[in-house]
């Protein structure tokens, strides 16, 4: 059974940093592109970042480029999102997603990040 379990969400002050993790199981992690997608009640769903199977290719939405870094450790079946210079508008539920939009699409349950003083 595919499982994606996110962790690391916390309350953090503006300007602070946070590292999200996603532990994957039930599939060959190193075969798949992985994504982070976030959601807020106000803006809905927003694609944040992706990393290809070996970590050689990464991409970001404009609002986080230069502040967030996606990475993976295929030996640990884990995906990460390093979030720096956090802003109030980064407050969201962050989902780890496998194979977004294709027949093997699978989402974790999310981890909540709150940026507030």
> What are the residues binding another protein (CB under 8 A)?
44-47, 50, 59, 61-62, 95, 100-103, 105, 107-110
CB of residue 13 vs another protein: minimum separation in angstroms?
A: 27
Query: Closer to another protein at the Cβ: 2 or 15?
Result: 2
Q: Is 91 exposed, middle or buried (0-12, 13-18, 19+ CB in 10 A)?
A: middle
Tokens 């503006």 locate to: 14
Paired tokens of 49: 């970042």
Query: Closer to another protein at the Cβ: 103 or 117?
Result: 103
CB of residue 48 vs another protein: minimum separation in angstroms?
A: 10
Query: Closer to another protein at the Cβ: 29 or 36?
Result: 36
Q: Is 79 exposed, middle or buried (0-12, 13-18, 19+ CB in 10 A)?
A: buried
């Amino acid at each position: 059974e595919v499982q994606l379990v996110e962790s690391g969400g916390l309350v953090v002050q503006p300007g602070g940093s946070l590292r999200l993790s996603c532990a994957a199981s039930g599939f060959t992690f190193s075969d798949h592109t992985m994504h982070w997608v976030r959601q807020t009640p106000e803006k809905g769903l927003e694609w944040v970042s992706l990393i290809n199977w070996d970590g050689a290719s990464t991409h970001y939405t404009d609002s986080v480029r230069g502040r967030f870094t996606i990475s993976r450790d295929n030996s640990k079946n884990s995906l990460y999102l390093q979030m720096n210079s956090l802003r109030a508008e980064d407050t969201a539920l962050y989902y780890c997603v496998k194979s977004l939009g294709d027949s093997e699409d699978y989402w974790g349950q999310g981890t909540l990040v709150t940026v507030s003083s």
